[in-house]
Amino acid sequence: MNKNNEKENRYLPKDHPRYLSLHIRHKITKGFEENIVAKAGLIAHGRGEAFDYLIGEQTTQPAKDAIKAAAAALLYAKNPVISVNGNVAALVPEDLVQLSKAIKAPLEINLFYHTASRVNAIKNSLLNAGAEKLLGLDLETQVSIPELSSLRRHVDPHGIYKADLVLVPLEDGDRTEALKKFGKKVIAIDLNPLSRTAQWADITIVDNVIRCLPLLIQEIENLKGKTSNELKEISDKFDNKKNLSNMIEIMIKYLQDLAARGRYIPEAAAVFSEMREDV
């Protein structure tokens, strides 16, 4: 555990019933203080946490199914790229680097609220986490995605622009739509199954990125012995619309159970906290 975590844990005792949630919030606010996270990213994080409550802060079976399909798609792709924004760089930089190495895919910084100082802060965060290949560092050398007016239209000509598959954790819906129209296959990680990102993506993992990425990395290792045809079959048979429908049904059922019990006890979150010594 690093010194920053040790200092933080003086204020966050591990027996606190919301320890994990508070720890994640601290990572986001620390990211904001270090210019990694935009102001709007703080709001986006809160919205995501609200949706996490609706699934009991646990990785559901539909999410596990989506993770398996995503792992197969990432291994099958010829030119996969991992898109990185401020929130995901603040929350899971080490996991991003591990995933990048597992599938030999570059990490590309792509921001809605783009400034050179934020790009540099995110770059340093990823390099400190062990990143070896970073794209999206120089706005002047980038090219544009058609039908997109925000600064996220600027992408690296050697990265997202030529990728056949783009992983977009914690994404903006407008760029997901634009990527799809530009012929890219898109994997999203989004706790909100109603978002435009979730609806437009080919594979949407409705889960907290903190929980999702370690499971995705493990599933990639599990599938590395599969043939290209087997990987394609796993990916192609995944029905994103059906999976999102299943997630919404789980949320409805969970709320009904909560209404019957009249209380919320996220037991899965406590278990997860015990599983990760570095949280």
Q: pLDDT tens for residues 207-252?
A: 999 999 999 999 999 999 999 999 999 999 999 999 999 999 999 9
Quick one: which of 246, 251, 257, 258 has its CA closest to 51?
Answer: 251
Q: pLDDT tens for residues 130-155?
A: 998 899 888 788 888 877 777 768 88
User: What's the pLDDT at 112?
Assistant: 82
Greater confidence, 79 or 114?
79
Q: What is the pLDDT confidence band of residue 173, given thresholds at 50, 70 and 90?
A: confident
Rounded CA-CA distance 133/129 in Å is 12
Token digits of residue 213:
């990425």
Is residue 167 predicted with pLDDT exceeding 60?
yes
Give me the DSSP letters along 119-188. Answer: HHHHHHHHHHTT---EE---GGG-EE-TT--SGGGEE-TTTTTT-SEEEEET--HHHHHHHHHTT-EEEE
Span of 42-46, 99-103, 185-189 with lowest mean pLDDT = 42-46
Token digits of residue 142:
């980038």
Q: pLDDT tens for residues 5-18?
A: 445 556 666 666 67
Rounded CA-CA distance 64/48 in Å is 18
Is residue 114 predicted with pLDDT exceeding 80?
yes
Q: DSSP letter at 276?
A: -
Q: How far is CA 164 from the centre of its chain?
A: 18
How do beta strands 154-155 and 143-144 pair?
A: antiparallel
CATH classification for the domain delimited by 61-243, as one of 3.30.70.2500, 3.90.1660.10, 3.40.50.12640, 3.40.50.1220:
3.40.50.12640
Q: How far apart are the first and last CA of the chain?
A: 8
Give me the DSSP letters along 211-222. Answer: HHHHHHHHHHHH
Q: What is the pLDDT confidence band of residue 22, given thresholds at 50, 70 and 90?
A: confident
Domain ranges of the chain: 61-243
Greater confidence, 255 or 16?
255
